[in-house]
Structure 1
Amino acid sequence: CQPVRRRPSFEVFVFHVGDKTWKSYDWSQITTVALFGKYDSELMCYAHSKGVRVVLKGDVSLKDIIDPNFRASWISQQVSLAKTQYMDGINIDIEQEVNCSSPEYDALTALVKETTDSFHCEIEGSQVTFDVAWSPKCIDRRCYNYTGIADACDFLFVMSYDEQSQIWSECIAAANAPYNQTVTAYDDYIKMGINPKKLVMGIPWYGYDYTCLSLSEDHVCTINEVPFRGAPCSDAAGCQVPYKKIMKQVNSSISGILWDENQKSPYYNYKDPAGSFHQVWYDNPKSISLKAEYIQIRGLRGIGMWNANCLDYSVEPVAKQQTEEMWEALKPKL
């Protein structure tokens, strides 16, 4: 039950949202599990037996953290909970809007620093991380002090997915995490002065299913205009689908697996029982491997996924192979 103190040279950060599929994860790779489901003492003990950290989810209203007394109280509660549950730190997941000139801007940075200082002091070897949007350019109006937050914690988990949450061009279905857009954003973080060793790349183990208003012969799928945080269109026009469902559906699709070379992403088209055309964009071992190569070349801290429960952990041979290939894709091949 003792907290984990080792510092791995390469981080594989896993989000776990519940159930017992964790028994089938590739524990030879994992370094941290962020518990975003119910607390599971069996998982915690098993992870520790493998030298893997298990961390809390930290979420709090930004309006509240302007008050230093509230911050101190909240942090104290988190440290106490971590100690009670033999946890190894906390992953702060705050995805609220922040304006650069607002009091929340400085309060958020202060919260991260104070949380890190407190955890490091109270739990030896503990880890404090913060989740940021796929780009530092005020995505979804999340205009944070990215360099200050990076300095204040152990590392940033960059959510390199939902990259169509704000669509400013034409309303068409596109990749959840297109390669060039994804890696350019890391270059932007690094240009700000953030050490690559403070960046862990998040990749999606899910995709988006869009209903097409029209589907052209060259596979352009126009979608409903669903505004989000100032943008006229967004991926909210689609719905999230886990990789395990995608793999069951793709073989019966009308297109089979297609590959978009510009976005370096797989997709396919299908027709629903009502006769409507759909387009599904997702990531697979091929697209993930390209990103894993970039991580190695750029010297990033590691890789992780939202979320580990999206794969099929059954003993069915085809599913078993598909799941193994997704875990294998996390390993840099260079």
Structure 2
Amino acid sequence: MAQLQLRSRRPVPSPRGTRGLAPLLLPLLLALRVGAGADCPCQDPALCHPITHRPDFEVFVFDVGHKTWKYYDWSQITTVVLFSNYDSELMCYAHSKGARVVLKGDVSVKAIVNATFRASWIARQVELAKKQYMDGINLDIEQAVAHSSPEYYALTALVKETADSFHREIEGSQVTFDVSWSPKCMGRRCYNYTGIADACDFLFVMSYDERGLVWSKCIAGANSAYTQTLTGYDDYIKIGINPKKLVMGIPWYGYDYTCQSLSVDHVCTTAKYPCKGAVHHQVPYQIIMKQINSSTSGRLWDKNQQSPYYHYQDQAGHFHQVWYDDPESISLKAAYVQNHGLLGIGMWHANCLDYSGDAIAKQQTAAMWKALKPKLWQR
């Protein structure tokens, strides 16, 4: 996920064992799961049953807490990934709407080379999902892996074994895997993308954090540029991944760049090459919508990157340039999902919008949800 999201503490690998014990160990650990007989926290016990329906179109939502889920557009949502503490109220409500609620899974790629540890880790995730009446797991690994390394093969095995275990133990469960915006070893993540896609239910493609200041010569730019984003999906499809195994991830946040210089034609230079000392940070859409009204430029549009941006001046007199996505830029990318037969769309993350109930904020928030399915889709 986005870089500001802190990860949970990773488990410490157990002593290295033989691979032959793994198939025997996993069923044993699953049989010993804790909390299998725990009382259902929902008023209607039927809501603790797993969701088994497979939607024709997936709207995949990441939630980071703060109870804003009560104001989401549940007419669209099919899956919620809990990136925060477990919320039984959310689980019950999501199930009442026919939506899955899944765990976040993160584990060291160094540790999973040990097949016995891998089996133990998977068993614990299934145990937790059963205890909390969850519907699967979203694997968010995001670690560097060299091609054909032990970790390369272990990661593919982890995904397959996780999917096999969840599908066997929890009816209708879903196992998904987060990948970068391009399959070309972005961030040194040289995964077996086709093998992983075959092993799990689908890939969530993180089409954001695409701007690298070094290769862009320290110039600010779009977080999720149109052509670059869609080229990433073309590349996934070209290597043999079925479009129905791909869910487009779009950002509901932008980047605020401090400009060392800002030209008359809106070029924000953040630092001298190689960009040492460049300053930029993430900004949620709700803050952007409040700030744009007091900006020095108002909303601007870059035709090449098909993305909005604006300028403002801080109290110290420094100019900033903020690049973000809004309903227009999202709708353009969402149309690709329909035209190329992708399984669905989702965002990092749903809490970025303003759910305060303010009249203007309410319209802006509704427009962002609506952009997931632009008018082009209406029949």
Partner of 1:35: 82
Aligned to 1:65, which of 90, 109, 112?
Answer: 112
Question: 2:213, 2:220 within 8 Å by CA — same for their partners in 1?
Answer: no
Pairing partner for 1:75 from 122, 136, 141: 122
Choose from 53, 59, 84 the match for 2:100.
53
Question: Could you tell me which residue of structure 2 aligns to residue 229 of structure 1?
Answer: none
Give the 4+ runs in structure 1 shifted more than 6 A.
none
- What residue identity is the alignment partner of 2:307? S
Match of 1:311? 353
**Deviations, residues 151-199 of structure 1 (Å, cap 9, x unaligned):** 0100000000000146423110000000000001100000000000000
What's 2:186 paired with? 139
SS in 2 for 1:12: strand
Q: Structure 1, residues 234-269: CA drift from partner, whole Å, max 9, x if none?
A: 998410000000000001000000000000000000
- Displacement after TM superposition at 1:223 (Å): 1.2
Larger Rg: 2
CA distance, structure 1, for counterparts of residue 174 and residue 148 of structure 2? 29
Distance (whole Å) between structure 2 residues aligned to residue 199 and residue 129 of structure 1: 10
- Residue 169 of structure 1 aligns to a residue in which SS? coil
Question: Following the alignment from structure 1 to structure 2, what is the Cα–Cα distance between the partners of residues 218 and 37?
Answer: 42
Equivalent residue letter for 2:281: C
The structure 1 residue matched to 2:363, chosen from 318, 321, 324, is 321
Q: Which of 157, 173, 178 pairs up with 2:225?
A: 178
C-alpha distance in structure 1 between counterparts of 2:280 and 2:174, whole Å: 35
Closer/same/farther in 2, CA of residues 127 and 291 from structure 1, 3 Å limit: same
Tell me the equivalent position of 1:110: 157
Aligned residue in 1 for 2:8: none
Alignment correspondent of 1:238: 280
Matched, 1:283 2:325: yes
Output the amino acid matched with 1:278: H
> Does 2:342 correspond to 1:300?
yes
CA contact (8 A) 2:203 2:245 kept: yes
Contact 1:293–1:333, Cα closer than 8 Å, also in 2: no
Q: 2:206 maps to which residue?
A: 159
Deviation for aligned residue 1:333 = 2.4
User: Partners in 1 of 2:288 and 2:127 — Cα distance?
Assistant: 41
CA gap 1:202/1:60 in 2 versus in 1, 3 angstroms: same
**Residue 83 and residue 235 in structure 1: after superposition, are their counterparts in 2 closer, same or farther (change >3 A)?**
farther
Secondary structure in 2 matching 1:163: coil
- Matching residue of 1:193: 240
Q: Secondary structure at the match of 1:6?
A: coil
Give unpaired runs (5+ residues) of structure 2. 1-47
Say what the alpha-carbon RMSD is for the aligned residues: 1.4
TM-score where L is the length of structure 2: 0.85
CA distance in 2, matches of 1:277, 1:326: 27
In structure 1, distance between residues paired with 2:277 and 2:360 = 30
Match of residue 97 from structure 1: 144
1:3-41 CA-partner distances (Å, limit 9, x unpaired): 100000000000000011100000000000000011000
Q: TM-score, normalised by structure 1?
A: 0.96
In the superposition, relative to structure 1, how do residues 234 and 99 fare at CA in structure 2: closer, same or farther (>3 Å)? Answer: farther
Query: Secondary structure of 1:56's match?
Result: strand
> Residue 224 of structure 1: CA displacement?
3.2
Superposed displacement of residue 116, structure 1:
0.2
Instruction: Choose which of 298, 319, 323 in structure 2 pairs with 1:256.
Output: 298
- Residue 131 of structure 2: aligned partner: 84
Change in CA separation of 1:166 and 1:54 when aligned onto 2, cut-off 3 Å: farther
Offset at residue 225 of structure 1 (A): 6.4
Q: Amino acid of the residue matched to residue 372 of structure 2?
A: L
Q: Retained in 2: the 8 A contact 1:165–1:236?
A: no
How far apart, CA to CA, are the structure 2 residues paired with 1:235 and 1:197?
42
Structure 1 stretches lacking a partner, 5+ long: 227-231
Give the SS at the match of 2:375: coil
Instruction: Check whether the contact 2:60–2:345 (CA below 8 A) recurs between aligned residues.
Output: yes
* Contact kept in structure 1, 2:271 and 2:278, CA below 8 Å: no
Contact 1:166 1:235 survives alignment (8 Å): no
Say if 2:295 and 2:313, in contact at 8 Å, map to a contact too: yes
Checking the alignment, whether the CA contact within 8 Å between 2:271 and 2:277 is kept in structure 1 is: no
